[in-house]
């Protein structure tokens, strides 16, 4: 970001079962970081105190918040009114927003004298055209309940788009690309002229592609049938779709593609099935996103699976020849791509690009942008 240096920024990225805290300098260098693999709780403030003893005092805190709901359509500095508005989105992403708000509240109490920014994953998709945004349901549902497609992984997409533009030597506003964020949660997004025009996730982060332990899209008729014919409660269905579905349900053993690739090589048929279903849904999602573009300048992979699972990238691209993609992708040493890179063969009709996940860095950039706008 341009402008005078601002100083260190603390970035908090809270998930349903993890918390990543990072202090960045003005050049996105990491001054200190802490990760925990459990849901944020009462120990958040102590964790922050220990982290801040290792780094200069931050000038601001940026918080990743998955869902802004219908009311919040831009990144914002948090005051009491904004904090109340964030509560309104909590039930739309119950796995993600409440933990983020737990961390936000602890950070505001611990560091009351500096700005706190809420950086929303849904912001990247606020300009979705009506055809991609609206569900075919009664107007009352859409207007009174806010039932629409919001889209997620926006901070990841914003970071990946800018890195892709740099790699191709073009401006983001010139590009028509499909970006696939494949990790614990998975989605794909169509970017036309630098703007999101379609995405596979919708009202919640459950819609769309098969994920690690989320089912992705399931026929809604099947869900009402389970309720009426087999008397499963809404709570039981929600628990299965969000926690017991996806790769975990298909394989019966693991929600990690690395485990499944190894198990498949050893003859595990359920692992093979899980990977087949996963890559099939990835291909279908990518092809659907390409339908919203005039051309395909690149296919971009990001997220933990996207950046460190070459087998998945190969199986997705090798069977998307109708989009001009091909297999035979390059695999870096150690499989993990640690910087933006083209992994398709030289001269490929459609470049395949891998961009390491950059959500925390994008939160830092958005937080600094908000601070600079406030100071002008």
User: Hey, which residues are catalytic here?
Assistant: 121
Note whether 245 and 214 are within 8 A (CB).
yes
**Helices then strands, each counted (H, E), the chain:** 14, 12
Quote the CA–CA distance of 309 and 303 in Å, as a whole number. Answer: 10
What token pair was written down for 165?
Answer: 């533009």
Q: Say how far apart CA 103 and CA 253 lie, in whole Å.
A: 32
Letter string b/e over residues 54-73, b meaning 16 or more CB atoms within 10 A of that residue's CB = ebeebbbbbbbbbbbbeebe
Neighbours of 272 (CB within 10 A): 17
How many Å apart are CA 97 and CA 275, to the nearest integer? Answer: 29
DSSP state of 43: T
Residue 320 CB: number of other CB atoms within 10 A?
23
- Neighbouring-strand partners of residue 22: 11, 33
Taking the mean position of all CA atoms in its chain, how far away is CA 286?
A: 15
The candidate with the shortest Cα–Cα distance to 206, out of 185, 221, 220, is: 185
Nearest to 123 by CA among 72, 172, 170, 171: 72
- Tell me the CA end-to-end span of the chain in Å, nearest whole number: 15
| CA atoms in the 13 A half-sphere facing the CB of 301 | 32
């Amino acid at each position: 970001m341009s402008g005078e240096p601002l100083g260190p920024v603390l970035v908090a990225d809270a998930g349903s079962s993890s918390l990543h805290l990072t202090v960045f300098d003005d050049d996105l260098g990491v001054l200190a970081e802490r990760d925990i693999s459990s849901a944020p709780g009462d120990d958040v403030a102590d964790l922050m105190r220990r982290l801040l003893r290792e780094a200069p005092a931050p000038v601001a805190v940026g918080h990743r918040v998955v869902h802004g709901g219908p009311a919040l359509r831009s990144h914002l500095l948090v005051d009491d009114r904004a904090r109340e508005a964030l509560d309104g989105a909590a039930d739309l992403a119950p796995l993600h927003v409440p933990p983020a708000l737990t961390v936000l509240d602890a950070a505001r109490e611990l560091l009351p004298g500096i700005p706190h920014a809420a950086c929303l994953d849904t912001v990247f998709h606020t300009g979705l055209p009506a055809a991609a945004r609206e569900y075919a349901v009664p107007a009352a549902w859409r207007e009174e309940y806010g039932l629409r497609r919001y889209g997620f992984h926006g901070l990841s997409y914003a970071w990946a788009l800018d890195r892709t533009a740099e790699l191709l030597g073009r401006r983001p506003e010139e590009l028509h690309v499909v970006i696939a964020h494949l990790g614990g949660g998975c989605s794909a997004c169509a970017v036309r002229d630098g703007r999101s025009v379609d995405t596979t996730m919708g009202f919640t982060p459950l819609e769309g592609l098969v994920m690690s332990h989320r089912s992705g899209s399931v026929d809604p008729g099947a869900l009402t049938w389970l309720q009426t014919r087999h008397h499963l409660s809404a709570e039981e269905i929600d628990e299965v779709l969000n926690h017991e579905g996806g790769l975990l349900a298909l394989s019966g053993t693991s929600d990690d593609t690395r485990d499944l690739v190894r198990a498949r090589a050893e003859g595990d048929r359920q692992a093979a099935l899980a990977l087949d279903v996963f890559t099939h849904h990835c291909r279908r999602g990518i092809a659907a996103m390409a339908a919203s573009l005039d051309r395909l300048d690149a296919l971009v992979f990001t997220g933990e699976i996207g950046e460190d699972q070459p087998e998945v990238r190969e199986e997705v691209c090798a069977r998307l020849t109708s989009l001009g993609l091909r297999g035979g992708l390059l695999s870096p040493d150690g499989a993990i791509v640690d910087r933006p890179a083209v992994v398709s063969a030289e001269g490929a009709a459609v470049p395949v690009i891998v961009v390491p996940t950059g959500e925390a860095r994008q939160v830092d950039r958005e937080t600094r942008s908000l601070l600079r706008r406030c100071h002008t």
